Structure 1
Amino acid sequence: MQRAPTSWVIDPDDPRAPPQELWDRMTPEERQRVLDTLPSEFEISEACPPEGDFHFNPKVAARDALGGYFQRIGRRVYLACELPVYYPAERIFAPDVIAVLDVEVKERARWSVSAEGKGIDFALEILWSGSSKKDLEDNVTRYASLGISEYFVFDRKRRRLRGFRLAEGSARYQPIVPQEGRLASTVLDLDLSLEGDRLRFFHGLAPLPETHELLARLGSMVGDLEARIEETETSLDEERRRFDEERRRFDEERRRLDAERQRADEAERRLAEALAELERIKRERG
């Protein structure tokens, strides 16, 4: 068993952040030692089983789509997948996706509510082959009691999406009622919906693009740009060819004019000589 400050002991089998009242009494150095001692990684166990693509892919796609969107609009939203979350004196948990509004966006090893000064605002769980009771019953009660504003569950195998939101002034969730097949997230100011077995986020009528879609769009743009460059280069080559032809014709015309000028000068010289000879003959006869 590891020790942080002498006032708080970390149980490696059940690591927890200290109660808030104890945290408030700690010095900055003691707090940092607590944070350094709280684990951010766990060995594979029955509680944290390895995951397959059916679970891994949708959570990463959700994080990346949201991350790209908030970066484009310039809003500070911290997003993470499977990040250990520590509420004061509570059991550790790690939702598939979390979002925290208006905080510094940086890499973290854990989210400590006491250290960060706020809890998470949005949680998403992907259900594939795990316990539906955990995601649809236990988490609904626990996340609400922790004050997480919104909680969504994407049951990929059954192609179902459920959402829950804290009622104002309550520690209980109310189901989010679908509107035209979508669930509204007031935290993210986005809608969530399913397309087959895919979870999509929408801003208005437009779906947030996923990474592979952005790459495909970028590839198409690059292809179009390369085609335009090739077309421009072809046009430039043709213009260059025409220019070279015109320059060749100009050079030939200049050489022709130079030759004509030389012949005219020679004819003028000969005429002058002939006139001079004629004048000489006239003077001799006169």
Structure 2
Amino acid sequence: MTLIPELETDVVYPDSDGRPMAESDFQREPLIYAVNALRRWFHAREDIYVSGNILLYYEQGNPRAAVAPDVLVVLGAPSHNRRSYKLWEEPKAPDFVIEITSRATVSEDQGNKRGLYAYLGVSEYWQYDPTGDYLKPALAGFRLIDRNYWPIPVRSDAEGTLVGVSEVLGLMLRLDGNGFHFADAETGQLLLSYDELEEARLEAERALREAEQRIAALEAQSRERE
């Protein structure tokens, strides 16, 4: 009896693993922020792909060989949208991954995923614990050297802000009382969320109105003296 190999066209790679995007608001909000902020930062680059919570398949013909990074960045991959990320159809594995750790994921993030990402060749692997319950400190990074991950220095400044530098992205990862942010490694300029951008816009409009009112008042006083 001759066995006929299963055709690749018969293999189904689901778009979802059926698991929720995040365990709670504590994990969901930084996940959404990170994806949106990085997409805006690289918006002019058609050769950089940014996504989050997307299934990454790493073994052709085996739909069970999959992982869903919270946030991933691939330098050198087209920026178009995808249903899933199949390594054999793409130029390379992600260069950057960050996992938003929770009670349900902390063991996997520090164990199986860390080993898998090293095996796949992910250059930088970061972990962030938004509640501070599972990681000490709450921000940690690792750089792939000779197929093993080595810690990326994360320092605490005089104000208690945790800062690490991603060489892959050219960005700082910052954690302070205002939460988690990316920042330009050269200028220190924060990559703001949509809500923060809107708040800054409204504040600028208020400041402009107040300046216009002060100018109008000064002009009125000047006319009264004449």
Please confirm whether the aligned pair reaches a TM-score higher than 0.5, indicating the same fold: yes
Offset at 1:223?
4.7
1:54 maps to which residue?
26
Alignment of 1:141-180 (within 5 A): 141-158=115-132, 160-167=138-145, 170-179=146-155
1:78 maps to which residue?
49
Alignment of 1:196-207 (within 5 A): 196=177, 198-203=179-184, 204=186, 205-207=188-190
Distance 2:10 2:102 in 1: 35
Distance 2:118 2:82 in 1: 24
Distance 1:81 1:163 in 2: 18
1:121 maps to which residue?
95
Q: Spell out, residue by residue over 1:110-136, the C-alpha distance to the aligned partner (whole angstroms, 9 max, x if none).
A: 001111121111111001222322111
Offset at 1:172?
0.9
Alignment of 1:4-83 (within 5 A): 7-8=5-6, 33=9, 37-44=12-19, 51-71=23-43, 74-76=44-46, 77-83=48-54
Distance 2:127 2:32 in 1: 15
Which residue identity lines up with residue 83 of structure 1 in the other structure? I
Unmatched runs of 5 consecutive residues or more in structure 1: 1-5, 10-29, 239-286
2:174 maps to which residue?
193
Distance 2:202 2:91 in 1: 42
Alignment of 1:214-233 (within 5 A): 214-223=197-206
Percent identity for Structure 1 against Structure 2: 28
Offset at 1:95?
0.8
Confirm or deny: 8 A CA contact 2:128 2:139 kept in the other structure: yes
Residues 163 and 228 of structure 1, relative CA distance in 2, 3 Å threshold? same
Larger Rg: 1
For residue 183 of structure 1, give the secondary structure of its aligned residue in structure 2: strand
Residues 176 and 224 of structure 1, relative CA distance in 2, 3 Å threshold? same
Q: State the aligned residue count.
A: 200
Q: TM-score normalized by structure 2? A: 0.76
Which residue identity lines up with residue 18 of structure 2 in the other structure? E
Please, which of 58, 80, 84 is the counterpart of residue 87 of structure 1? 58
More strand by share: 2
Distance 2:167 2:99 in 1: 18
Unmatched runs of 5 consecutive residues or more in structure 2: 157-161, 221-226
Q: TM-score normalized by structure 1? A: 0.61
Residues 218 and 88 of structure 1, relative CA distance in 2, 3 Å threshold? same
- CA RMSD in angstroms comes to 2.9
Residues 196 and 223 of structure 1, relative CA distance in 2, 3 Å threshold? closer
More helix by share: 1
Residues 50 and 207 of structure 1, relative CA distance in 2, 3 Å threshold? closer
Distance 2:22 2:10 in 1: 28
Distance 1:164 1:51 in 2: 24
For residue 154 of structure 2, give the secondary structure of its aligned residue in structure 1: coil
